[in-house]
Every structure is written in C-alpha cells, then in structure tokens.
Amino acid sequence: MREAAMSFITDEKFLIPFLATTGASLTIILLQFLGRYIGNRRKKLYAVAYIADISFRSLFSDLLLKKRTILPHINATKRIISGDLKLLNTMFLGDEFDVLTDAPFDFGFLSEEYKVLLGNDDIDLVQAYEFIVYTNKNGMTQRAFNEFVKSNLKSQYFFNQKTPEAQQDILNTYWDYLDKLKHEGDRNICFVIDAFVPHVKEYIKGKQFLFFSKKSIEKSLLAIEKSVSDFRDALPEKKTPNDIASGGIQRALKKKET
C-alpha cells in the first residue's frame, strides 16, 4: 500500500500539476505579501508627507503673524502707552487694534488607518503632529483677545470717555494679550523646528524606506528651512533647559532671595 502511495505521488500526472499549483499559490502569496508591504510603506510615507506639509503651513503662519502683525502692534502699543496720541488716533481711524479677525487654519488630524500604521513605528511622531494640530485648533487666547478688542478698542469716542488710568489699563491689557499670543506662537515655532523636524528626518532615514521616494517630504522640510531663513529676525530666542527652568516665577523667586 505504501508502494502504491509512493508510486501515485511520484507519478508525473500527479506531480507536475501539484508542483505547478503549489508554485502558483506560493507566488500569489508572495505577491500579496509584497503588495501589502509596498502599500503600507507608501501609506506611511504619505502620512509623513501630509503631516510635514501641515507643519510647514503652521510654522509659516506663526512666523508671518508674529513678524507682520504681533511684533508691530506690540511696538505701537508701547509708543501709545508712552504718550504717542497721534499714533493712537491713527490706530482707531484704521481699526488697527482689531487685527486677528481671521479664523485659525483648520488642520485635520490623521485618519485612524494612517495613525495606526505610523504609530506602530513611531507613536511620538503621531503625538507630535497632534500637538501641532491641537495648538492651531485651540485659539482660546485669540478669541479672548478679539472679545476684549470688541469691548474696549472699537470706538475712539467711548475710549476717550474713560479716565486716563482706565485707558492705561486697557492698553496694558491689550499688550498682555499680544505678548501671550507671541509666547504661544514662539512655543509652536520652536516645537516644529527643534522637535518635529528632527524627528521626521530620523524616521524617514529608516531602512524600510530605502527604496522609496521621499520627494514630497523633503520638499516640505526644505520649505521649513527656507521659512526659518526668511523669518530669522522673527525666530524666538534659543533657550536651553536651564534657561527655561530659571525663567518666569523661578527667576522672580531667585531675585527675591538675593
């Protein structure tokens, strides 16, 4: 019986079709595996290209807003507080106090499919992008700023009815809002440049992407570098961890102790 079985297995009529079918099945399995492998790598690179592009747009927006709007209005407010009534009149006539009426850019989060694919490799990269999106969507300070301007700096007539002390309080509060917006923008700028970009560069250097095009990602990274160069006079001052730790309330307490 064993001999009959061996004879059947080694029979060309059985063996050749069997090997052909097995080879075809293995080829299909291999092609399916390669298809999934290539598809997943392309999806990961698409996800990185997408978040790199959004991060560039976020950075450019923050730099442009700081240079063209926030810093000039901080300087103008300082001059008005120092007694420049002509500039105050110009600001009211041109409705120049109300400068942040446009809604923040509405950047989207990654879909779950791309988030899982990318997160399995590098969850920190996904979280870094979500932080950038969240800070752009938040807009709480901008909304409070707009409400303050609407209530206090839309009418020169009503402003002039207030006492000099009340006018100074309004202008100082306006300056405080601008300073807070500047601080929030600086935080986002530093995060993109010093945390997000190096992380992206390190991720796409991985061996899994060795034979895949990264042109779109590199284009966004170059755009970020160009923005940093073009707006270098608006970049936040570089701070070490020790500088940050010794700033704010820590610095005030240290001065009091000395």
- CA gap 205, 62 in Å, rounded: 28
For the chain, the domains span 44-235
* 143-166 pLDDT tens trace: 999 999 999 999 999 999 999 999
- Check residue 134 and give its pLDDT: 86
Q: For each successive 10 residues of the chain (258 residues), what is the average pLDDT? A: 50 53 52 58 88 93 94 96 94 90 72 85 90 85 93 94 95 96 94 94 86 90 96 81 48 50
pTM beyond 0.75: yes
pLDDT tens, residue by residue, 99-155: 887 766 667 777 888 888 888 888 999 999 999 888 887 788 999 999 999 999 999
